């Protein structure tokens, strides 16, 4: 069944696929002699594979194909696709936890991230999830996600604050 599913994927040939910016339509794609203006890109596995299996859809939401590995595309194509993905998948990385306070079942997190200080609320403990041995994703009440890439890189005080939540 896995083999059949893989064969059904419409993988784009990186040798003839080119992403570029069109001043009027935004991100656009040329595959051989075919061209699509105003395409959208999305990660099939946004938490675990940020450079692989990128789904490309036309402006109406119809799937054009899948980029198996971003690194196989040309340099300019990689750059514009990465820019689009960065806008769509804004996930600040937590570098320090200053405090976690609970009130009425909601925890308020005050943290430092790679994008500056943040304060957010988390509704339930299940919104703090491991996606790897030392890799956490935290979802706030607004649906935003924050990431701790490696627990071992946090300072002892941050780890101590986090222990009550995991």
Q: Which domain holds residue 106?
A: 94-163
With beta carbons less than 8 A apart as the criterion, state whether 60 and 68 touch.
no
Using one digit for the tens of pLDDT, what is the confidence trace for 120-141?
Answer: 999 999 999 998 899 999 999 9
Q: Token digits for 39?
A: 């395409």
Q: 40-43 and 34-36: which strand pairing?
A: unpaired
Q: In Å, how far are 35, 96, 151 from 166, measured between CA atoms? A: 48, 16, 11
Give the domain-ending residue among 88, 111, 144. 88
Q: What is the DSSP letter of 151?
A: G
For residues 118 and 140, membership in a common domain is answered with yes
For residues 51 and 11, membership in a common domain is answered with yes
For residues 64 and 115, membership in a common domain is answered with no
Give the domain-ending residue among 88, 118, 135. 88
For residues 75 and 55, membership in a common domain is answered with yes
For residues 40 and 81, membership in a common domain is answered with yes
Q: Which residue has the tokens 């820019």?
A: 83
* pTM higher than 0.85: no
For residues 76 and 100, membership in a common domain is answered with no
Indicate the range of 10-24, 46-60, 61-75 predicted with least confidence. Answer: 46-60
Looking at per-residue pLDDT, the higher value among 47 and 29 belongs to 29
Give the domain-ending residue among 34, 57, 88. 88
Predicted confidence (pLDDT) at residue 74 exceeds the cutoff of 70? yes
């Amino acid at each position: 069944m896995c083999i059949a599913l893989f064969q059904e994927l419409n993988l784009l040939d990186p040798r003839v696929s080119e992403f570029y910016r069109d001043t009027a339509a935004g991100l656009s794609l040329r595959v051989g002699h075919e061209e699509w203006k105003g395409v959208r890109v999305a990660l099939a596995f946004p938490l675990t594979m940020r450079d692989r299996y990128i789904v490309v859809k036309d402006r109406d939401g119809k799937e054009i194909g899948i980029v198996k590995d971003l690194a196989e595309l040309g340099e300019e194509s990689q750059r514009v696709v990465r820019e689009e993905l960065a806008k769509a998948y804004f996930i600040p990385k937590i570098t320090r936890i200053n405090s976690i306070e609970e009130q009425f079942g909601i925890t308020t997190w005050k943290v430092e991230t790679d994008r500056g200080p943040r304060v957010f609320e988390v509704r339930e403990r299940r919104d703090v999830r491991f996606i790897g041995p030392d890799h956490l994703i935290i979802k706030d009440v607004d649906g935003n996600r924050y990431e701790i890439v490696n627990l071992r890189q946090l300072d002892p005080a941050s780890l101590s604050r986090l222990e009550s939540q995991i």
